[in-house]
Amino acid sequence: MTALRITDLVFRWPRQARNCLEIPQLELAAGERVFLHGPSGSGKSSLLGLLGGVAVPQSGAIELLGTNITQLGSSTRDRFRADHIGFLFQQFNLLPWLSALDNVTLPCTFSTRRRERTGDSPHAEAERLLGHLDLGPDTWRKPAGELSVGQQQRVAAARALIGRPEILIADEPTSALDAERQQIFIDLLLQESAAVGATLVFVSHDRRLAGHFDRVVALDEINRVAPELAT
Amino acid sequence: MKRLLLLFALCLALPLQAADDYRDIRWEALVPKGWDPSRDLKALDLGNLQDNDPRAMEALDKIRKMWDNAPTDPALAGARVRLPGFAIPLENKGGKVSEFLLVPYFGACIHTPPPPANQIIHVVTKKPVSNLHSMDTVKVSGTLSLHAASTPWGAAGYRLTLDSVENFNPAPPPEEKRRR
Amino acid sequence: MKAVLRLAVLSAWSRRLTLGLTLIAIALAVTLLLAVERIRGDARQSFTQSVSGVDLVVGARTGGVQLMLYAVFHSGTASNNIGWESYRAIASHPAVDWALPLSLGDSHRGFAVLGTSADYFDRFRYGEREALHWRDGKAFTGVFEAVLGSEVARGLGYRLGDSITLSHGLAERGPEHGDKPFRVTGILAPTGTPVDRTVHVSLESITALHLDWVGGAPLPGVNIPAEFVAKFDLRPKEITAALVGLKQRGDAFRMQRFINQYRGEPLLAVLPGVALDELWQTVAMVERSLLAISALVVLIGLTGLAATLLAELNERRRELAILRALGAGPRDIFLMLTAEGVLVTAAGALLGVLLVTAGSGLAAPWLLERFGVVLAMRLPGGAELALIVAVIATGLLASLVPGWRAWRMSLADGLTPRN
């Protein structure tokens, strides 16, 4: 089963002269954990936007779980994203004025499907996930802004995982962590995504982290557009 | 069948007809027929009088006095009428006017002689009227009656129990004037 | 969508310091707007309530509004008095049903003193043909007896049988008629009109007070003690004004003409309704300006709100991107920002309503005492509610600006804002 299939994708930002992305082909199988190597300027933010359905390519198809999201209307795309994709960013993933627990359960307020997949008990599921990610109950009710960066990233991971979305997209989630923690976090992520059977797309510029992934894809190789030099 | 429909239509028309059974009158209708205060003046032959003849002034004064004591017409008691005029608020109830005087001309104040007794109507409302100000041009509809009280200016005055009033120049309440 | 609105509330709460100040600004603006409207309405109401069933108010030849002010509202001074003979000529006119003489000029601790006849208490009507009621005691019968309005008794703590002295003139501490104290024989029930803040005495008492006075000061060396005043003729020579009721209300104009053309002395008669309308016309200009200014202040407050929300938007780009990642669309973001603005406006308006209600309660006694205006401590009525709705609607319009900006921003930023 193909989780993601990109065909003849062409994307350019409005008011830009040259294309940003030209990807003829990319396919990810369900449950694959892929390391997508992309330095800054290689168009990875644009690709993530397209995968998330917040941007629409000028031409080409993006099939997620069998659905071509480029054909969907914008609110349908928003709903698709809410239902099937969990995001994890480099930093500032959380709403600082909500507690850790409330942050984790957010996707369940946006998606009834994900809520149902927690057995209609998002809080219990959130507690379980946080426990798995080594976050004790003393952190659960704290406002997310008061947690350390490492703790915040783990809360963000729990949020991405809750409700078992089929696709996880992580954009440089370890860049803000210190070196020792980076690999630990990645292993945690790999473990958890395997546990829920999700397809993981881990985007990073640091090739050294690629070790434990099923597959490594270089954005430079699949993208026909040459990357811009240092921004 | 057709006759039934016609009857039905007539029955519908009746209440509508009844609603508009006011007689549109003019202020002259309030003066009893056959009453003419200028008889004496007419009797005088103005062309044959000398300048400053006292009889001319006397006749005019007499007209003025008669106007002041002008009688009302008892035949109008109970009449349902509609007539235009200018309103002078007298009493109010909760910010709305409950009684007002209706006069035939604008500015019945100290600069002009007041109208005679049969040209002023004391209007009493059933439901107080909002937005009625001094000297607003109105058209009243209601039932006339005579109110007896012995005064030097006539034995009875006209009163009207108001059914409805149309105000032709209501001042908009200040709240509605603002558009923000 | 509900999820987004709930987050809007929580997000606003997390920024409560900045938003709180904006809210207070809006609240104060709304308080100003409602206060102006309320005082305007209540003052007008108080004035029209003050007299009922009176066909003509008669006084010296001044302006109609001025005559109403001192004869009915016991406020301000008369330029001249009218002679007792003139009053008698009017009162005995066959068209007149009743007449009440009024004599003003003295005061008691800031409250006006009114000299009148004993049947004032039976005749006088206010509001909707309401008669005066007694809380305690009864009318004066002789000289040096006084009937107090409810506010005078309450404000100065007087009871039946108390003794008071009157001051000459209207100043708070004028020359006292100290040798001729008055005994309180009656206290009236509250009316919500200037009656409440007036001390009523007989006309003879006024004459008696000034027997040994000339030109606003006691005659030096002459002192007529209270017990001897009866030996003098206490019938009034002049009064300040009179209230007249006619047998036929329609005779008002004719009677007015008769009085205005009276040969004895220059007199003025006005129809209370007409004089009040004149007053409102003069005042309307001021009212409208005040309301316009208050409306402007509200606009300033709401502009501040829009500016605050716009300024914060930059800080919140990450927050908005997170929401987008979770599944919010640009339209949800727009609604969220707009809802925040409307929420702050509504909360500010609510606070403004509370402030004006509390403020009316606090200011009411002072307004009643000073100006005779009854300001009810009540929740907003029809006109005020319309104003509040207008404020919130304008707040909605103002909030569309940050809402639209947020929409554009979130479209441009997508999931990865550049900051």
Coil, helix or strand for C414?
coil
Q: Is residue A148 part of a domain?
A: yes
Using alpha carbons only, give the angle C105, C259, C282 rounded to the nearest 5 degrees. Answer: 65
Reading the block at residue A48, the tokens are 């993530």
pLDDT tens digits, one per residue of C3-50: 788 888 888 899 999 999 999 999 999 999 999 988 888 888 888 888
Give me the DSSP letters along C107-164: EETTEEEEEE-TTHHHH-EETTTEEP-EEEE----STTEEEE-HHHHHHHT--TT-EE
Query: Mean pLDDT in chain C?
Result: 87
Using alpha carbons only, give the angle C177, C183, C188 rounded to the nearest 5 degrees. Answer: 115
- Computed over its alpha carbons, how large is the radius of gyration of chain C? 30
CA distances from A213 to A30, A33, A37, A138 (A): 14, 6, 12, 32
Q: Count of CB contacts below 8 A, A vs C? A: 66
Q: Is residue B15 part of a domain?
A: no
- For chain B positions 39-78, those within 8 Å of chain C (CB to CB) are 68
* Residue A99 per-residue DSSP state: B
CA atoms within 13 A on the CB side of B80: 7
Q: Is residue A164 part of a domain?
A: yes
Q: Is the pLDDT of residue C418 over 70?
A: no
pLDDT band with cut points at 50, 70 and 90 for residue C334: very high
Phi, then psi, of A60 in degrees rounded to 5: 105, 170
Q: Is the pLDDT of residue A141 over 80?
A: yes
The pLDDT of residue B178: 41
Chain A residues touching C331 at Cβ < 8 A: 75
Q: Is residue B153 part of a domain?
A: yes
Q: Is the pLDDT of residue A121 over 60?
A: yes
ipTM, interface predicted TM-score of the complex = 0.89
Location of structure tokens 């007499």? B62
The pLDDT of residue C27: 96
- For chain A positions 79-98, those within 8 Å of chain C (CB to CB) are 79, 81-83, 87, 89, 92-98
Q: Does B172 touch chain C (CB under 8 A)?
A: no
Spans of chain B, pLDDT less than 50? 18, 110, 174-180
Instruction: Report the number of distinct structural domains present in chain B.
Output: 1
The pLDDT of residue B175: 44
Q: Is residue A138 part of a domain?
A: yes
Percent of chain A with pLDDT over 90: 43
CA B178/CA C3 separation, integer angstroms:
37
Q: Which amino acid is at C234?
A: L
Antiparallel, parallel or unpaired: β C238-239 and A199-204: unpaired
Highest average pLDDT, of C45-49, C91-95, C279-283, comes from C91-95
Instruction: Report the number of distinct structural domains present in chain A.
Output: 1
The pLDDT of residue C201: 93
A185-196 average pLDDT score: 89
The pLDDT of residue B180: 38
* More reliable by pLDDT, A44 or A160: A160
Q: Does B138 touch chain C (CB under 8 A)?
A: no
Q: Is the pLDDT of residue C410 over 80?
A: yes
CA C31/CA C25 separation, integer angstroms:
10
The pTM of the whole model exceeds 0.90: no
Q: Do C and B share at least 3 CB pairs under 8 Å?
A: yes
C247–B115 CB contact, under 8 Å: no
Residue B77's CATH number: 2.40.50.870
Query: Mean pLDDT in chain A?
Result: 88
Which residue is closest to B156 within chain C, CA to CA? C248
C390–B133 CB contact, under 8 Å: no
Q: Is the pLDDT of residue A39 over 90?
A: no
pLDDT band with cut points at 50, 70 and 90 for residue C390: very high
Residue A94's CATH number: 3.40.50.300
The pLDDT of residue C98: 93
Which residue is closest to C15 within chain A, CA to CA? A97
Chain C residues touching A109 at Cβ < 8 A: 3, 6
Q: Give me the residues paired with residue C114 across strands.
A: C104, C200
A64-85 average pLDDT score: 91
* Residue A195 per-residue DSSP state: H
* More reliable by pLDDT, B170 or C65: C65
A68-77 average pLDDT score: 90
Query: Which has the minimum average pLDDT: C296-300, C314-318, C342-346?
Result: C314-318
C241-247 average pLDDT score: 93
Which range of residues forms the domain containing residue B158?
A: 25-177
Phi, then psi, of C207 in degrees rounded to 5: -60, -45
Contact residues for A11 (Cβ-Cβ < 8 A; gap 6+): A19, A20, A21, A22, A43, A46, A50, A55, A57, A58, A60
Antiparallel, parallel or unpaired: β A199-204 and A167-171: parallel
Which range of residues forms the domain containing residue A189?
A: 31-56+85-222
Inter-residue contact C84 to C238 (CB < 8 Å): yes
Q: Which amino acid is at B55?
A: R
Give me the DSSP letters along C370-413: HH----------HHHHHHHHHHHHHHHHHHHHHHHHHHHHHHHH
Chain C residues touching B157 at Cβ < 8 A: 248-251
pLDDT tens digits, one per residue of A52-61: 888 899 999 9
Instruction: Report the interhelical angle of A100-110 vs A149-161 (nearest 10°).
Output: 30
* More reliable by pLDDT, C120 or A18: C120
The Cβ of residue C377 has, within 10 Å, a number of other Cβ atoms equal to: 13
Q: Does C318 touch chain B (CB under 8 A)?
A: no
The pLDDT of residue B45: 66
Query: Which has the minimum average pLDDT: A98-102, A125-129, C45-49, C378-382?
Result: C378-382
- For chain C positions 179-218, those within 8 Å of chain B (CB to CB) are none
